[in-house]
Amino acid sequence: MKKWADKYVIGLTGNIGTGKSVVRRMLEHLGAYGIDADALAHRAIAKDAPSFDLIVETFGSYLLAPDGQIDRHKLGQIVFNDPEALSRLESITHPLVEQAVNLIVRRATQKVIVIEAIKLLESKLVDQCDAIWVVYAPPEIQLSRLVQNRRMTEKDARQRIASQIPQETRLARASVIIKNVSTFEDTWRQVTTAWQRHIPSSDSHPIPLSQPVKLSLGEVNVHRCGPKQVNEIVETLNRLNKEKKPLTNIEAMAAFGEKAFLLLNVEQNPMGVLGWQVENLVARTTDIALDSALPPAQYLPIMIREMERASCDLQCEASLVYVPVSLAHHDVLWTSLGYEKRTPASLGILAWQEAAEESMPEGSVLFFKQLRQDRVLRPI
């Protein structure tokens, strides 16, 4: 019996390097709530998570890095060369991931849920899905992405590809097949077409706009942009960031595969942009641009609070804001918003620390705020 009777659940899967996460984010742009089950599996083995002690007991303290965390590279070397060891690891982590997914789905307000999981078909989660979407890419593209984007050696990449079930096995179970082999625009067209064809209209809803406010320079509102507004985002960012290399439409479209953008309008004139992504229940703001005519203390909070509102709707535990040096000295502003200046190493929680290290732009200053106290996969 389906657990989540009030939700329409898309199970999203595909082999490594096919681009599942890009497709998940596209579905999020369309109004779905995205869950990365593979990221939750990473959380499940962290030092402060429930399965840590059992994994160390099962595979040995050899796995531990100098900081006391499990070295995922060492663990991968063991399990991806030994199907029995991989099965033992999954028997420890899968029940915890399923618990976490169940908790997140039940408290989500969105009616369409997309669960990204490379092992979806081998897990109990598949029984809770209304549809199975499979992302496909030929082996040569998989290999290229793993080497270029994930910095794997060719040997390690080939090993990871070979350790997974054939893509044909997944394709045979698919309700929808997305061929992620060309441009972002081509993949986006496939995703939007499939969404319009398969998602019940009553189950999807547009992302609500913020209410306009009146400030000294006129009426101000913030709205979330999707790939359809790419031209507006490019024009505004290039105008506000004249000292940086101009952004192209192709680069901006690719960015939509990772993040969302908020556009700040003053009397219908675009005068601010904020780009952020939500991954593994952590919000990361990587782009902030504000017209020099706008006082930061008045206008920045409007974008930050809208980002937080959307992030809290996505059940985020923490917000990481990477602030340009030109805006980082406004201490009173950031303190009033509840942020404190931090380094990635000082964040304590591994998932937050890794998020900061992975996405922090060069030359920026990290400001941190915890958005909720009840973390997923806390120690039991």
Q: Which of 261, 257, 180 is nearest to 21 (CA)?
A: 257
Q: List the beta bridge partners of residue 291.
A: none
Contacts 24+ apart (CB under 8 A), 344-352: 347/318, 349/46, 349/48, 349/318, 349/375, 350/43, 350/46, 350/47, 350/48, 350/69, 351/39, 351/42, 351/43, 351/46, 351/280, 351/281, 351/282, 352/282, 352/317, 352/318, 352/320
The helices-and-strands tally (H runs, E runs) of the chain is 15, 13
Q: Is 208 left (phi over 0), alpha (psi -120 to 50) or beta?
A: beta
**Cα 239 off chain centre by:** 28
Q: Please report the domains of the chain, with CATH numbers, ordered by start residue.
A: 8-203 (3.40.50.300), 213-370 (3.40.630.30)
What's the order of all strands across the beta sheet hosting 269-279?
213-215, 218-225, 260-266, 269-279, 282-290, 318-324, 364-370, 340-341
| pLDDT in 10s for each residue of the chain, 380 residues | 678 989 999 999 999 999 999 999 999 999 999 999 989 988 889 888 889 999 999 999 999 999 899 999 899 888 888 889 989 999 999 999 999 999 999 999 999 999 999 999 988 999 999 999 999 999 999 999 999 888 889 998 898 898 888 999 999 999 999 999 988 999 999 999 999 999 977 565 555 556 677 776 789 999 998 888 999 999 999 999 888 889 998 898 888 888 999 999 999 899 999 999 999 899 999 999 999 999 999 999 999 999 999 999 999 999 999 999 989 999 999 999 999 999 999 998 888 999 999 889 988 999 999 999 888 766 54
pLDDT at 81: 81
Q: Centre a 10 Å sphere on the Cβ of residue 130 and count the other Cβ atoms it contains.
A: 18
